[in-house]
Amino acid sequence: MVKPIKLTKDQTEFVQVDGLEKHFDASKPFLTRILNREDRQILRAVDGVSFKIPRGTTFSLVGESGCGKSTIARCVVGLYQPTRGSVQFDGVDIAGLSDKQIMPYRRRFQMIFQDPYASLNPRWRVEDIVAEPILEHRLITGKKAVRDRVDELLAQVRMTARDKEKYPHEFSGGQRQRISIARALASNPEFIVCDEPTSALDVSVQAQILNLMRDLQLELGLTYLFISHDLSVVCHVSDFIGVMYLGRLVEAGRAETVLRTPQHPYSRMLLETIPSFEERGRERRAWSGEVPNPISPPSGCHYHPRCPFAEKRCSSEVPAPITIDGQRITCHGVQEGRLPSTVQTPDIQ
């Protein structure tokens, strides 16, 4: 007997992540720890992240490697159990559900992975790959009906029915990513988490996939959580953007606002480091420093050792998020109003 699922009150947002935390135990083995008198080491991959995604929109998470964006993606689809916090999907908290309880929801959200070479089983024909979710969730019965549905899905991702006889190795990277998308669509999902779906692809193919994803969103009313390190790609697909640094969301808001007037010093740096076609040989400000080790992140605001505007308070006190015009920023400098106003980035016409 499956326990009744607790319904929460607020149903306005389709996907809502609240105070999400995911910790990993990165300690050395037990005996080494005893001998060296070391404590356990906890890696806070995601450290209190909250955001909402309205139905039919795209929310993007950007940040450099190791900032926790993929961990969030996995928590959201239930591949990781969050340490703390909640993930509400259409009003239901799915974070604490058991495998059995989550099953009815699994059909409604799917995931597209980064590497189309690793995410497709090389021994299965395309037909079997795409049909798997249909059979698993018992959505359609009858061989003929399943085959027809596979044809339809392949057509949706602009492939032909003949392709279903082939194996993944017969396709290029872009084609394989289309197969992944067809598989994700097979269970009629409403929400798709895309973890760097185009970063393994060449630019001209990337454009094809991004266009396809956009068309599908309009056709099927999909909601996307899009994970990427590439701000120019993110800019293209998003309605909302969240910028992450070392497990925390430093800035979030509408895509145009975040890209036009980035407030947090880290978002400003990310935007400024994008190579520009306009000014060849422009001397860029040397942004020094690197992402610190997430096992021992800096105190206070994680970004303060690299921040050109850091003051004493930044190193001691964790900044609380403030909201300006719907843009949520976590920075003492912005709050105190002592940062220089953002200059429009040269790329914006």
- Rounded Cα distance between 279 and 347, Å, is 10
Q: Does 282 bind another protein (CB under 8 A)?
A: yes
In the numeric block, the tokens 């909302």 are attached to 240
Check binding of 280 to another protein (CB under 8 A): yes
Helix (H) or strand (E) holding 220: helix 203-220
- Of 4, 29, 281, 337, which one interacts with another protein (CB under 8 A)? 281
274 binds another protein (CB under 8 A): yes
Single out the residue of 94, 259, 334, 339 in contact with another protein (rule: CB under 8 A). Answer: 259
| DSSP state letter for 347 | T
Applying CB under 8 A, among 287, 305, 313, 315 the residue interacting with another protein is 287
Q: Which stretch binds another protein (CB under 8 A): 137-145, 219-227, 331-339, 341-349?
A: 341-349
CA dist 18 and 46 (Å) reads 12
* Cβ at position 339, least distance to another protein in Å: 18
HSE-up of residue 22 (Cα within 13 Å, Cβ side): 25
Kindly determine how many residues on this chain lie close enough to bind another protein according to the rule CB under 8 A: 46
Nearest-Å Rg of the Cα atoms of the chain is 22
Q: CB of residue 208 vs another protein: minimum separation in angstroms?
A: 5
Looking at residue 7, the DSSP 8-state letter turns out to be: B
Instruction: Give the list of residues 6+ apart from residue 238 with CB closer than 8 angstroms, or none.
Output: 58, 59, 60, 226, 255
Q: Give me the least distance between CB of 226 and another protein, in Å please.
A: 13
Q: DSSP states of 18-77 as a string?
A: EEEEEEEE-PPPHHHHHHHTPPP-EEEEEEEEEEEE-TT-EEEEE--TTSSHHHHHHHHT
**Binding string, residues 173-212; x marks residues near another protein by CB under 8 A:** xxx--------------------------xxxxxxx-xx-
The reply to whether 229 sits near another protein by the rule CB under 8 A is yes
Q: Which stretch binds another protein (CB under 8 A): 45-53, 144-152, 160-168, 285-293?
A: 285-293
d(C-alpha 83, C-alpha 44), whole Å? 10
Considering the complex, state which of residue 11 and residue 211 has its C-beta at the smaller distance from another protein. Answer: 211
* Least separation in angstroms between CB 275 and another protein: 3
- Residue in 231, 182, 188 with CA at minimum distance from that of residue 209: 182
* Binding stretches for another protein (CB under 8 A): 64-65, 172-175, 202-208, 210-211, 214, 229-233, 235-236, 259-260, 269-271, 273-277, 280-282, 284, 286-288, 290-291, 345, 347-349
